[in-house]
Structure 1
């Protein structure tokens, strides 16, 4: 199910895409048959499919339940602990991929096999002919793509557990990729694989500046990561230009592989280039700075769907209106689909699911169930009987994605809510709506309403009553940060209303301490989230917020205070009544977790 072809042959690639989407139903049936034939003897499947005759689509749908991570966790934990029997997959599990979601304060772990790396390589290769179809001349220059690895975890058995992109960048498939003209990037492998994120960022930007005349496209995986790079450039351009001017690398770059690879690209002093870059970066305004530094750039490739959409205005400011291209939809569990109209507006992005990547099913989400999802009270397993196949979804309807993978996830709820926007041949196209139950996200963090509620309950000051609260993700600065609006009142009428600054700063820090592993890693290790802020509002503010919501059409009987606000009008009401602002003064504790506890 992994076709072989030359990704630089645009015609062949587009023909393959047409074949996959035209025969989506047949391919999906073949995918399920292959998964069941390959993994039928595993402990998990045998507990539901107990006869040889059960290796078919009908038995699979009737007997294998739709599950979430908590259902799969005991089986995956046994693998992490060293059980090498065929629990989920007949093929050896070579690593566990850490999801950005968490379970019990630790990253979720997804099984992966050697074959999955080949499948991901195929997926990436499918992006090449699509981009070549829409943008001419991409083989005449380079891409400045900023790619990073993140910390690995050792399981009890010694099996590696790491983010999916770290896994791919460290794989032989990535290191030994054919350097055809299209996929040449300015960052040497050594700078990408440097585990010190600051050194990696500095070296990749330095290489991108030195090769600025060859750069045709800019990018990172997520918009948040790309904007961190822009902010890093703003803070360090003087030192970067000094290195270009002298042909050396800053002394604090201690990773020898980074130093050597960058020195080979610097290739001696270049004072003219240093003067040009420094003059551009010294401008009063950085509006359109990316166009000026890299004048041949045709587009910026970053994911700007889902929670990343909040960064679009900032990207437009720095880029001077360059097209923002979201090319793919993927997760730790599986790579799903590609955007076959990459130059569309960010608001119009739809992903065409590739039917050979996994077996896809969909749980319908109507208005009633969608409302319950937001409240956290809806169990979609109750609607298992309404599940539909890939080709049977309906345009305009909402669904939760369910996948069955070659690596051992069966009818697994990914947690993504998608809307069907149309079809390309027989393959449906989806826009990403939201992550189920997530209310706050800045980078790869995903904080649910329940997580936020527990953290607030733990951190609220004992000298006041917390009468109401809400939140929002503030991305007006880089890095973005969580903002909590608290309405406080004294416990007794005679208590002084004055807010103690140290107490409130401690509240900020305690909220952060209570948030999950991924948030704390982003704050402490990655520096991709700024200090959490609490804004205390005057008494009666949330009554005004309710009045505003009702004036916009909400029902008095059904109104509930939103735990995250996104409307400009609501934020204006809250901000106009702020009587105190406080920030966390310390980073939350974080260290790479061993999964042997």
Structure 2
């Protein structure tokens, strides 16, 4: 046993003890966070606009601060982007995390030094809670790989800007960098396929023990290893024992990913977001992810069925119920106030508070992190139809194809034409080009050969009518969803 694995155990015991303390005193934990946030926010422009001086409790806060998404908060963020200080939080942000928006294209999410620290310490604590519960720490003596975005950062108003994973890469402590893969130089490569080949060059003969990344990226890494060596991952990395993941729904990838590994390995699920690290799997025995109640985020929860009401209920942690779906609202130590992150969760436990991520409050496709939304596919189809004026459309929907029988994963468009294009391939190419113009992350995935361009399935006449009838939703105000992040509608259409 090496020095890292030996030292990890007493540190893990301490972290597990501290985690237990705050998680079993949830209301006080959240009250402390709330009080600190309000005190810090009082002298900001946002705090003055919303009379933070008179806020004494959560009820006062709810009356003064409305629920906002990025579009609603954008006027304040624009002021920060133009160099103003003390707008949403004292001073200026340390970073902007650049991410894909639901309606806004690229979003710039402010991050402070405190919120960045919370991102890293939460990842650390997830691993250390695993060490404490299982007693397994030998993986820390070998290679650790973090499949992430580029750490190369741009600047906006003098504030460093980049993808969340790239920002966090700058905060990995020195004691982990000695066995961290890939190298900084390799991590800076933009082209994913070139980067992946270089990662394999660096890791193939290394003693890799922990692998972390979003599932589709990890699967591509495993596939390349198999192609290069003819072996399964377990035979290349016999000491590989822990897979850490998050960012997208794992279930579509689970069977193939573990088949590629060739043996069972433990896994830790995490729930990081640019707006804050929200939860992580703290136990291999208990279901759900531990909601982080002491890390600079004060949470509110809206029952999903009330989300689009004029005045939905905004519940504190003490008011939620197990088994119900809620939209997540955060107030954090980077100046996001009453901010709807668009995710929905379900509580599986209240002692301590553990959650499952159940989806998004709106339809989308983000099987690979691209977050394509309804507006984008509608516009892509509209602009393509303008280029093919003879084509007539009845209905369409889009779904991800994660495990195709041939080629790379892709988006599959199920289209019922009244008059099909003479050249369906040319139509599909134009449609793909239009979507790439509308969504920078989809374009990145195509350019990086993570996805192939979309494919069109020309469905038979009345297929969508038959589908809606089978669902008991034919007529009235019922509509076929334009897109979904799973294959339920796609499979139903294929079965017709």
**Cα deviations by residue, 1:77-120 (Å, 9 ceiling, x for unpaired):** 1211222x211111331221112325443x11111122222222
Deviation for aligned residue 1:62 = 1.9
SS at match of 1:145: strand
2:409·2:451 contact (CA, 8 Å) conserved in 1?
yes
Rounded Cα–Cα distance in structure 2 between residues aligned with 1:533 and 1:405 = 41
Q: Whole-Å Cα distance in 1 between the matches of residues 367 and 167 of structure 2?
A: 23
Question: Who is 1:231 aligned against?
Answer: 223
The one of 511, 527, 550 equivalent to 2:449 is 527
Q: For the residues of structure 1 that align with 2:8 and 2:59, how far apart are their CA atoms?
A: 37
- Give the match for residue 71 of structure 2: 70
Structure 2: state its 5+ residue gaps. Answer: 1-6
What is the distance in 1 between the residues matched to 2:421 and 2:341?
46
Looking at structure 2, the residues matched to 169 and 151 of structure 1 have their Cα atoms a distance apart, in angstroms, of 6
Q: Match for residue 586 of structure 1?
A: none
Question: 1:467 — aligned with what?
Answer: 394
Deviations 1:32-75 (A, max 9, x none): 1111112210001111116x343544422221222111111111
Matched, 1:59 2:60: yes
2:93 is the alignment partner of 1:93: yes
Instruction: Report the Cα distance in structure 2 between the residues aligned to 1:199 and 1:546, rounded to whole angstroms.
Output: 44
Structure number, greater radius of gyration: 1
Counterpart in the other structure of 1:440: 365
SS of 2:451's partner is coil
Q: Partners of 1:7 and 1:116 in 2: how far apart?
A: 26
Deviation at 1:558, TM superposition (A): 5.9
Say if 1:133 and 1:479 are closer, same or farther in 2 by CA, change over 3 A. Answer: farther
Indicate if the aligned counterparts of 2:96 and 2:110 stay in contact, CA closer than 8 A.
yes
Q: Distance in 1 between matches of 2:334 and 2:480?
A: 42
For the residue of structure 2 that corresponds to 1:98, the secondary structure is strand
Give the equivalent residue in structure 1 for 2:422: 499
CA distance in 2, matches of 1:162, 1:457: 32
Q: Aligned pair 1:538/2:463, yes or no?
A: no
TM-score (norm 2): 0.88
1:429 matched to 2:348? The reply is no
State the secondary structure of the residue aligned to 1:531.
coil
In the other structure, the counterpart of 1:340 is 282
CA RMSD of aligned residues (A): 2.9
Could you tell me whether the CA contact under 8 Å between 2:99 and 2:274 is conserved in 1?
yes
**Match of residue 260 from structure 1:** none
Equivalent position of 1:456 in the other structure: 381
| Contact kept in structure 2, 1:362 and 1:399, CA below 8 Å | yes
CA contact (8 A) 1:7 1:128 kept: no
1:216 aligns with 2:174: no
Find the counterpart in structure 2 of residue 291 from structure 1: 234
SS of equivalent residue, structure 2 residue 311:
helix
1:582 corresponds to which residue? none
The equivalent residue for 1:121 is 120
Q: Residues 451 and 194 (structure 1 numbering): CA distance in 2 closer, same or farther, change over 3 Å?
A: closer
Is this contact kept in 1: 2:297–2:332, CA < 8 A? yes
Q: Secondary structure at the match of 2:204?
A: helix
Asked whether the equivalents of residues 279 and 289 of structure 2 are also in contact (C-alpha less than 8 Å), the reply is no
Residues 36/177 of structure 1: CA separation in 2 closer, same or farther (3 Å cut): farther
TM-aligned CA deviation for residue 507 of structure 1: 3.4
Q: 1:188 to 1:293 in 2, by over 3 A?
A: same
- Whether 1:331 aligns to 2:273 is yes
SS at match of 2:224: helix
Task: Say which SS state the counterpart of residue 410 (structure 1) adopts.
Answer: coil
Change (3 A) 1:220 1:87: same
